[in-house]
Amino acid sequence: MTPEAASRDAEAICTLAPIVPVLVVDRVDQAAPLARALVAGGLPALEVTLRTEAALDVIAAMAEVEGGVVGAGTLLTPDDVKRAKDAGARFGVSPGATDTLLAACEAADLPLLPGASSATEAMRLLERGYRVQKFFPAEAAGGAPFLKSLAAPLPQIRFCPTGGISPENATSYLALPNVICAGGSWVAPKAMVEAEDWDGIEALARAAAALPR
């Protein structure tokens, strides 16, 4: 797929809800109930990080949940892309971007949200055709004021800031014209997942889904 098509798909996925949960899931049996809770709360787009041994099986289990759109996060290598796609991921996310990774996603027809944290990185991705990008690590790299500053010279790029986003600061990002959605792990806290508090997670998702943008 072309970068332009990848960006169109990424844009559609990012438009589904204001927040994309960033998930670190250790146990496969918790994947489907977790996804069901988040989707029921109004957050259909889910990023599963490839940080646990179970991650690929978690993606496969979540891909079966009705209404969910499951992606794989922290894609670093062509092998990650292949394994994520084979598991059923419908999009990929990366903290940065390399030519190798971009080419692998394009060849695999996996829409990618590539990461940028400087004007040059964002411009390089735009030059290749990626209009929708992840801004990572959002808070550490300058936060909402940084993205606001990019909106004037680079209005054609829209970002999904991720990293340090919380219910308290999310609205300052979502209010910006160049922010399409934000990613965050707070909607699925480790303790609540371990306790299998699906109702509690659904409530967190519902609050996040109601954030204005």
Residues assigned a catalytic role: 47, 134
Within 10 Å of residue 146's Cβ, how many Cβ atoms? 17
Q: Between 178 and 185, name the residue whose CB sits nearer to ligand 3PG.
A: 185
| CA–CA distance, 119 with 135 (Å, rounded to integer) | 11
105: left (phi over 0), alpha (psi -120 to 50) or beta: alpha
* Residue 133 touches ligand 3PG, criterion: CB under 6 A: no
Residues in 172-211 at the binding interface with ligand 3PG, rule: CB under 6 A: 184-185
Query: CA 167 to CA 72: how far, in whole Å?
Result: 23
Taking residues 57 to 96 in sequence order and writing x for each that binds ligand 3PG by CB under 6 A, - otherwise, the string is ----------------------------------------
Give the residue nearest to ligand 3PG (CB). Answer: 185
CB of 22 to ligand 3PG, least distance (A): 4
Position 160 contacts ligand 3PG (CB under 6 A): no
User: Per CB under 6 A, does 163 bind ligand 3PG?
Assistant: yes
3 contributes a contact to ligand 3PG by CB under 6 A: no
Cα 200 to Cα 188: distance, rounded to the nearest angstrom: 9
- Laid out side by side, the sheet with 112-113 consists of 112-113, 91-93, 69-73, 45-49, 19-23, 182-184
- Minimum distance, C-beta of residue 165 to ligand 3PG, in the bound complex (Å): 5
Q: Where on the chain is the footprint of ligand 3PG (CB under 6 A)? A: 22, 136, 162-165, 184-185
